[in-house]
Amino acid sequence: MYEKLLSEGKIGNLTLQNKVIMAAMGVDAAEPDGKAGQRVSDYSEERAKGGVGLIITEVTRVNDTHGVALGGQLSMSNDSVIEPFSKMVEKIHSHGTKIFVQLHHPGRQNLSAIAYSWGMLQRVGHIIPGFWDMTYAMGQLADASMLEDPRVEAMMKLLPPVVGASNIPAGLGSSIIKGQNTRGLMTWEVKRLEKQFIEAAVRVKKSGADGVELHGAHGYLIQQFLSPYTNTRTDEYGGSLENRMRFLLNILTGIKKECGADFPVSVRLTVDEFYNLLGFENRGIQLPEGVEMAKRLEAAGADLINVSCGNYETLNTLIEPMSFQPGWRTYLAKAVKEAVNIPVAGVGVIRTPEQAEELLESGNQDFITLGRPLLADPHWVNKAKEGRAQDIVRCISCVTCFMTDEQNALKGEPCECALNPYNCREITYNDQTRKVDGNGRTVVVVGAGPAGLTAAREAAKRGFHAVLFEKEAVPGGQLNLAKKPPKKDRMQWAIDDLTQNAKIAGVDLRLGTEATPELLKELAPYAVILATGGVPVVPKIEGLDGDNVCTVADVLSGKVNLSGKKVAVVGSGLSGLETAELLVEQGNTVTVAEMAKSIAPGVWTQHYWDIVPNLDKAGVNMVPGHKLVKVTDTSVYLEDVKTGNLKIIDVDAVVLSLGVRSVKDLESAAKTVTTRISTIGDASHAGKLVEATRAGCEAAWAL
């Protein structure tokens, strides 16, 4: 089973125990000074325990002056980091796994406030006890939306510019970096950076790690030199492909000279920037030139081409949301594989061992690179090896990991996974810290949505008799609605995998059974965890009791079927936008009304760019800055929040997407049987999937 996937692989003279490579991902789990502390070490070791052949660390900085990208980013910029990192290397090696360090500079894809302040903060942090606690406490008040605040943008312009190959600022398309003054590096600075990359690789070798990867992808500095769009230099580093590759090739050959020809060097390479998806034809790196770059890297001594694509401006091509199909990038790896003789690794929504084995059998790539799947399930490889592929928690491409990595950056917290609350928190949640003291005592969990399934699973792992009641005939809760819009069917994976792992843990799952006060008294539970969900909010506005008014839940569940109608969707959060997309697919003419000044307030940029352009193309009428004040049989009345002027739009139906109200009906009954009551998920407050699973885990661990 999975013969190719689980067979040994070779990178140069290095032998891996299998052909699975853990991709470098910025998870923000290192110490503030870039050292490898217990948190990042435990996170990495868990994946080594899970059987992966090679771990490539998260983006690791080589320069502290303008090269810091994340507060919790690993560093190889000075000798003080070698010893702590070597301890992490020893842990990884103890499980038969190899480790590379990905060397990185963000270039223009950075914030001045991070790039230029972090070095100073590090120095202060070494002097003042508790400094980082105070700093991160202030960071708790920060929010990613602050970057769009005009006052913050104005402040950023007063800071030194971020650096790049040239003075081409980021900010097109879905880029999360906007409004940053950018300057091109001077020639002497480029040469100094080459030296810093090489010196960092020497430190990696001294640490005992097995190799390095040069990050020439995803829009960071090396790629900025490679791309004809971001490199407009007129010196020896600009113009022709030979010149644009000079920075990368000088680093590569320098590493080989200083570390030895047998010290493996991988290059993560964007072979297509996909600017055509933003409407810019013939811009940036395109596949034929990307393939030529790979050939020249092979000639210069690279040992592995780790094929990737895109940059922050085409973000959805490199960290795909659900709309991208499994294996869609295969043709990119194939094109490189046909042109080089060194090993080729590839990513691209690879989610199951079966799919991975097929890719290897095709001969289009030599290694399988997994990123997010190993956040969702660190033991992906071992489960495949043990014939338990059905137990793998599959990544659903919800992009929560990247979103939370950015949102947590100033808070001293790492990224999160919507389906794995242990992710990057293995220092807290592990087999040693888990108390197995349930002693068969009964814990009742009400509601088999993601919060309830997680809570029941974790309670069962602790040795409790976890009884999970779900009044519907199927588990999943709100996920059963979330899977209905176009291209959101992967939500069913979440339902299936959460349910499967609850059953494996020993949860007594009772579907089609409503938890009544009588049942609670009969079971006399030690504790009750209420995950009873929520119901749509319907405000008191004239006309909302009409027959032509429904909620997104009514549409998504199929209770209300609309076709060939003029429909107004009120509320442009993610649920409203996804429902609008479904309504368009069903043949309706759609208007989306939003009280906020812009459509999709609070919606993560990747979800925005995955949905809103489709709605625009479909001719959906977007009406931001208007609140609903009245509905009639034939119209909606929308009031301009600034002027008070009314806009009347003819419609046949109105669909409300105005949030969720928590259901707490069983709280009183639960109080009659136990004092140990937790209310989680939407039953506590409306939230995202990641908040539900985290709350379920925390409730069970707190018993």
Q: Which CATH number fits domain 442-536+662-701: 3.40.50.300, 1.10.287.990, 3.90.226.10, 3.40.50.720?
A: 3.40.50.720
Both tokens of residue 429? 């949640």
* String of DSSP letters for 282-296: T-S--HHHHHHHHHH
* pLDDT band (50, 70, 90) for residue 670: very high
* pLDDT band (50, 70, 90) for residue 11: very high
Mean pLDDT confidence for 574-589: 98
Mean pLDDT confidence for 505-518: 97
Give the pLDDT confidence score for residue 128 in this predicted structure: 73
* pLDDT tens digits, 372-425: 999 999 999 999 999 999 999 999 999 999 999 988 877 789 999 999 999 999
Residue 147 pLDDT > 60, yes or no? no
Mean pLDDT confidence for 503-519: 97
Locate the domains of the chain by residue range.
9-407, 442-536+662-701, 549-658
* pLDDT band (50, 70, 90) for residue 80: very high
Residue 480 pLDDT > 80, yes or no? yes
* pLDDT tens digits, 262-277: 999 999 999 999 999 9
Q: How far apart are CA 85 and CA 99, in angstroms?
A: 11
Give the pLDDT confidence score for residue 132 in this predicted structure: 60
Taking CA atoms, 350 is separated from 31, 48, 324, 358, 370, in Å, by 31, 19, 11, 11, 7
The answer for residues whose C-beta is within 8 angstroms of residue 542's C-beta and 6 or more apart is 629, 630, 631
- Report the candidate in 145, 291, 284 with the shortest Cα–Cα distance to residue 228: 284
Residue 348 pLDDT > 60, yes or no? yes
Determine the number of helices (DSSP H) and then strands (DSSP E) in the chain: 24, 29
% of the chain exceeding 70 in pLDDT: 95
Mean pLDDT confidence for 178-200: 96
Residue 365 pLDDT > 80, yes or no? yes
Residue 16 pLDDT > 80, yes or no? yes
* pLDDT tens digits, 195-213: 999 999 999 999 999 999 9
Give the pLDDT confidence score for residue 528 in this predicted structure: 98
* pLDDT band (50, 70, 90) for residue 140: low
How high is the mean pLDDT of the chain? 94
Beta strands 9-11; 14-16: pairing state: antiparallel
Q: How far apart are CA 27 and CA 12, in angstroms?
A: 28
Residue 136 pLDDT > 70, yes or no? no
Residue 71 pLDDT > 90, yes or no? no
To the question of domain 9-407 being in CATH 3.20.20.70, the answer is yes
* pLDDT band (50, 70, 90) for residue 70: confident
Give the pLDDT confidence score for residue 219 in this predicted structure: 98
Mean pLDDT confidence for 612-618: 97
Q: Which residue has the higher pLDDT, 641 or 133?
A: 641
Q: Of the ranges 234-238, 296-300, 474-478, 661-665, which one carries the lowest mean pLDDT score?
A: 661-665
451 close to 498: Cβ distance less than 8 angstroms? no
Mean pLDDT confidence for 527-534: 97
* pLDDT band (50, 70, 90) for residue 115: confident
Give the pLDDT confidence score for residue 116 in this predicted structure: 77
Residue 473 pLDDT > 70, yes or no? yes
CATH code reported for the domain at 549-658: 3.50.50.60
Give the pLDDT confidence score for residue 412 in this predicted structure: 82
Residue 10's CB is within 10 A of a number of other CB atoms, namely 15
Residue 232 pLDDT > 90, yes or no? yes
DSSP state of 573: S
Give the pLDDT confidence score for residue 407 in this predicted structure: 86
Give the pLDDT confidence score for residue 149 in this predicted structure: 57
Secondary structure of the chain: what % helix, strand, coil (to 5)? Answer: 35, 15, 45
* pLDDT band (50, 70, 90) for residue 695: very high
Residue 148 pLDDT > 70, yes or no? no
Catalytic residue numbers, as ranges: 220
* pLDDT band (50, 70, 90) for residue 251: very high
Mean pLDDT confidence for 617-629: 97
Mean pLDDT confidence for 128-151: 60
